[in-house]
Each structure stands twice: as structure tokens, then as C-alpha cells.
Amino acid sequence: MSFEYSVTYSAENKYENPVENASWQFLIVPEDNDTQELISVDIKNSMQARSEFSQNGYGFQTIRINTKERLQKINFSVSFKLKKLSFNPFDQIPLFDIVSNYELVQSLTFKVDFEPFLRQTKYTVLPEGTENLFLFDSSISIFENLQKLNNWVYNFIHFNAGVTHVNTVLDEIIKKPEGVCQDFTHLFCALSKANNIPARYVSGYLHQGNGYFGDSQMHAWAEAYIPQVGWIGFDPTNHLLVNDNHIKVAHGKDYNDCSPLKGVVYSQGANETVHSVEVQAEQ
């Protein structure tokens, strides 16, 4: 069975001083993968600026918009239609060979192959002394440990929009465990990596229930690499395994690799961006 989703991403950029010759790059296009298929994309902006598809350094599709016009405000609106296969994440879980899996993740080859998703990054570095915040139990499978971690992170951080921002690092989260999906995801990734399990940050959209209609933001969750299975998605913010309500856009080492909008303007002064997202399902 499959669903059809329509997603609309909108952003409004305002600049204190007029800008000329600006470029914006959006990392908001749902990826084509085993469970989702992009049907159409419709791009609009208030300046009628030229847009084109490209890709970022990690191979994800981007939309780039350039204009030489002078402006102080620009609105973007991008709509997608996509097909999502319904699936149950537990269907893919085999019987694990627990001992050999733990041996495998300790091997040099494994560590080399998954180096990007095992290294500490700005957003996933654990403050000194907190590396043991969550320790895996080697008597149960990696998958079970990750589920427990998902649960642990869900309980550890109190969801509170507005207290953290795009530059918040784990040091602050651990001292004052409040935040949003991005913070949940960074903590999950950091602790997974601390236990030698590769983890990556995923950005995307979450459909919050059939028939649900309303404004929201882009969502973030994590994927961890489990031997015998591959990458499995965990959503610590909602205490969920990733399912057919999650529409993936991109993944990376942390938020830095996935930020939805990057802009280059040649002007002094402050700027402000407001994003909003609308996800609608049509079965």
C-alpha cells in the first residue's frame, strides 16, 4: 500500500539593508529511496528569480536560486508531491548474531568505512565526563540497545520549543535538558557513536497523522547503522522508530550538513528567516 503526500515548504527572508546579487540554496527536496518516490516539485518565489536543481557535497538534491535584483524581502514556496510506501520498521529486524555484531563494530575495517558517522562533530561532541551517560549492554542486540537509547533520550530531554537555536551544542543540552528535535537527534547520535555505533543526522518532514492539517517545521531524526540490517531510523523526539509518516530529505554528520537553507548575500546588517512546513496526506 502507498500514500500520496503533498508537502509545502515556505520561507520568508528579510534583510535589514537592501541586498543585491544574492544566492540561496535549499536542502528541502525529499530524496528518492526505497520507501519514497518524488512525483513533482513546484518552485515559486516573490522575485521571479531563476531557480535550478543541483546537488550538495553529499549528493543530495538542492534547489539554488539566484538574483541580481535589489531586494529587502523575498518569499519562497516549494511544493512537492510524493508517494510513500507504507511499511512497518519491525518487519526488517532479523535474529541478531549478537557476539559477532559487537566484534564487527570493533574491527578496523568497520571503523574506517563508517569514519564520517563515528567522528565527533561540533554538534555531537559530548562534554568531558559524559561519555558514559548511556552505556550499551553487550548481552542484548545493538538494535535493542538503540531502542533503549531512543527511549532514554526521549525521557532525558524535555521538549520545549524556543529555548534552543541552530547553534546549540550538547554541553548546554546536558546542563539544561530542554530542546527540540534537533537537540534530541544530536544527543542520540553522540551517544550511539560513543558506543561505537555509526549514527547520522536526518532532516525531513513528519506527517503528524492522517487528515491532520496544519503548520509545522522541518523535522529531524537519526539513523544508526546496525550490522545485518543497515541504516535504521530512530525518532527520539517522538519515541518512535521511523515509519511511513517520516519523509526523508537528507542526512549528514550533524545539522551542519543538513541545514535547509543557506544564503549568500553581499550586504551588511541583520537578516531574519521564517520557515514553515505543511504536510498533507491523500491516501
Backbone angles phi, psi at 146, to 5 degrees: -65, -35
> Least CB distance from residue 250 to other proteins, whole Å?
13
Contact 60, 31 (CB under 8 A): yes
Comparing CB distances to other proteins, the nearer of 83 and 111 is 111
Place of cell 515559486: 44
Segment contacting other proteins by CB under 8 A, of 47-55, 144-152, 168-176, 184-192: 47-55
Strand 178-179 to 158-159 pairing: parallel
Pick 239 or 275: Cβ nearer other proteins: 275
- C-alpha dihedral over 183, 82, 147, 171, to 10 degrees? -10
Is residue 35 close enough to count as binding other proteins by CB under 8 A? no
CB-nearer residue toward other proteins: 200 or 219: 200
Task: Show the binding pattern over residues 101-140: x = contacts other proteins (CB under 8 A), - = does not.
Answer: -------xx-xxx-xx-xx---------------------
Contact string (CB under 8 A) for other proteins, positions 200-239, x = contact: ----------------------------------------
Helix (H) or strand (E) holding 147: helix 142-156
Nearest to 7 by CA among 77, 55, 85, 87: 77
By C-beta, is 23 or 280 nearer to other proteins? 23
Among 6, 35, 66, 243, binds other proteins (CB under 8 A): 66
Cell digits of residue 1: 500500500
Contact of 181 with 134, CB cutoff 8 Å: no
Q: Is 25 in the site for other proteins (CB under 8 A)?
A: yes
Specify the residue, 118 or 153, whose C-beta has the smaller distance to other proteins.
Answer: 118
CB-based contacts of 246, cutoff 8 Å, min separation 6: 204, 205, 206, 207, 219, 221, 233, 235
Cell numbers of 56, please?
550538495
Please identify which residue in 262, 269, 273, 274 interacts with other proteins, judged by CB under 8 A: 262
Residue appearing with cell numbers 541583520:
270
Interacting residues toward other proteins by CB under 8 A:
23, 25, 52, 54-59, 62, 64, 66, 108-109, 111-113, 115-116, 118-119, 253, 262-264, 266
